[in-house]
């Protein structure tokens, strides 16, 4: 199966920049998009294509905010929106698709950059997700993709020292990713590329993308038991239309 994740930073906007053409050429079996910014009730505007069915989880607390969606041509066994912890529902951040061999999560994790309260929400969301994933993992393995809004190590952003006090690279955010990987979740990109200079998000300002001054905050993780089935993982920095670029995973499937 080929799986792709992309924070599109507004699906309506990226549709004007060739999204449908990109999707048709992607070859993906499942595409998860984040920050769709579609209002509840407007999802039909982005309905099934000739090749893909769609499912959405949109924010019910604020219009034009957050939201995730999946385009799929492999029929899921089940679909769940949001996390089971009610404290972290309403913003349309999670889609959980069950396939025969694994649970697939498409998640737009919160940004912690708007003050202490929002940082606490982000860290609590991380914990609520991990608790849920660990419960499901007793049934079958986990694949999770999306915008984690945190660069894990100094290799994952251009200016690590200058951003040590910036949300997205705070010690407590990075410590959660340490706990996540210690719990047996594998950063698939790092199975194939151990060096720096590979990013998935660039600030729109300062010609950051042109100069490759970026952050790697979009990931595919798999639970350890799926490691042998990972065939390749990549970042496609040649795709424009958003301040993020797509990331992908190919995983062996029966």
Which pLDDT tens digit goes with each residue over 88-102? Answer: 999 999 999 999 999
Q: Pull the structure tokens for residue 175.
A: 């410590």
pLDDT of 194 reads 97
User: Has 7 been labeled as part of a binding site?
Assistant: yes
Count of domains forming the chain = 1
pLDDT band per the 50, 70, 90 thresholds, residue 11: very high
Which pLDDT tens digit goes with each residue over 57-108? Answer: 999 999 999 999 999 999 999 999 999 999 999 999 999 999 999 999 999 9
Where residue 51 sits, what CATH number does that domain have?
Answer: 3.60.10.10
User: Has 35 been labeled as part of a binding site?
Assistant: yes
Q: Which of 103, 121, 132, 147 is catalytic?
A: 147
Query: Are 221 and 144 spatial neighbours (Cβ–Cβ below 8 Å)?
Result: yes
Residues 124, 126, 130, 132, CA torsion sign: positive
User: Has 187 been labeled as part of a binding site?
Assistant: no
Which pLDDT tens digit goes with each residue over 24-56? Answer: 999 999 999 999 999 887 888 887 688 999 999
Which pLDDT tens digit goes with each residue over 122-131? Answer: 999 999 999 9
Query: Are 126 and 133 spatial neighbours (Cβ–Cβ below 8 Å)?
Result: no
As a whole number, the mean pLDDT across the chain is 96
Active site residue 48: no
User: Has 163 been labeled as part of a binding site?
Assistant: no
Active site residue 108: yes
3-state secondary structure labels for all residues of the chain: CEEEEEECCCHHHHHCCCHHHHHHHHCCCEEEEECCCCCCCCHHHHCCCCCCEEEEECCCCCCCCCCEEEEECCCCCEEEECCCCHHHCCCCCEEEEECCCCEEEEEECCCCCCCHHHHHHHHHHHHHHHHHHHHHHCCCCEEEEEECCCCCCHHHECCCHHHCCCCCCCHHHHHHHHHHHHCCEEEHHHHCCCCCCCCCEECCCCCCCCCCCEECCEEEEEEHHHHHHEEEEEECCCCCCCCECCEEEEECCC
Q: Which of 52, 72, 108, 121 is catalytic?
A: 108
The residue range of the domain holding 27 is: 2-251
pLDDT of 186 reads 98
User: Has 149 been labeled as part of a binding site?
Assistant: yes
pTM comes to 0.97
């Amino acid at each position: 199966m080929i799986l792709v994740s992309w924070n599109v930073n507004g699906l309506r906007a990226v549709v004007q920049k060739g999204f449908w053409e990109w999707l048709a050429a992607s070859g993906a079996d499942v595409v998860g998009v984040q920050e769709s910014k579609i209002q509840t009730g407007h999802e039909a505007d982005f309905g099934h294509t000739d090749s893909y069915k769609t499912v959405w989880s949109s924010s019910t607390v604020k219009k034009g905010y957050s939201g995730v969606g999946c385009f799929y041509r492999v029929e899921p066994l089940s679909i769940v929106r949001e996390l089971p912890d009610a404290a972290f529902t309403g913003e349309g951040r999670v889609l959980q698709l069950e396939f025969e061999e694994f649970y697939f999560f498409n998640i737009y994790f919160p940004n912690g950059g708007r003050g202490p309260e929002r940082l606490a929400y982000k860290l609590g969301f991380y914990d609520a997700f991990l608790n849920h994933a660990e419960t499901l993992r007793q049934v079958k393995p986990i694949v999770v993709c999306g915008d984690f809004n945190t660069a894990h190590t100094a290799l994952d952003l251009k200016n690590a020292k200058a951003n040590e006090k910036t949300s997205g690279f705070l010690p407590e955010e990075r410590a959660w990713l340490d706990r996540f990987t210690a719990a047996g979740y594998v950063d698939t990109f790092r199975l194939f590329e151990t060096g720096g200079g590979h990013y998935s998000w660039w600030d729109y300002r300062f010609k950051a993308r042109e100069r490759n001054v970026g952050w790697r905050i979009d990931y595919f993780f798999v639970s350890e038991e799926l490691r042998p089935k990972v065939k390749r993982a990549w970042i496609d920095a040649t795709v424009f239309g958003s301040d993020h670029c797509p990331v992908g995973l190919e995983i062996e499937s029966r």
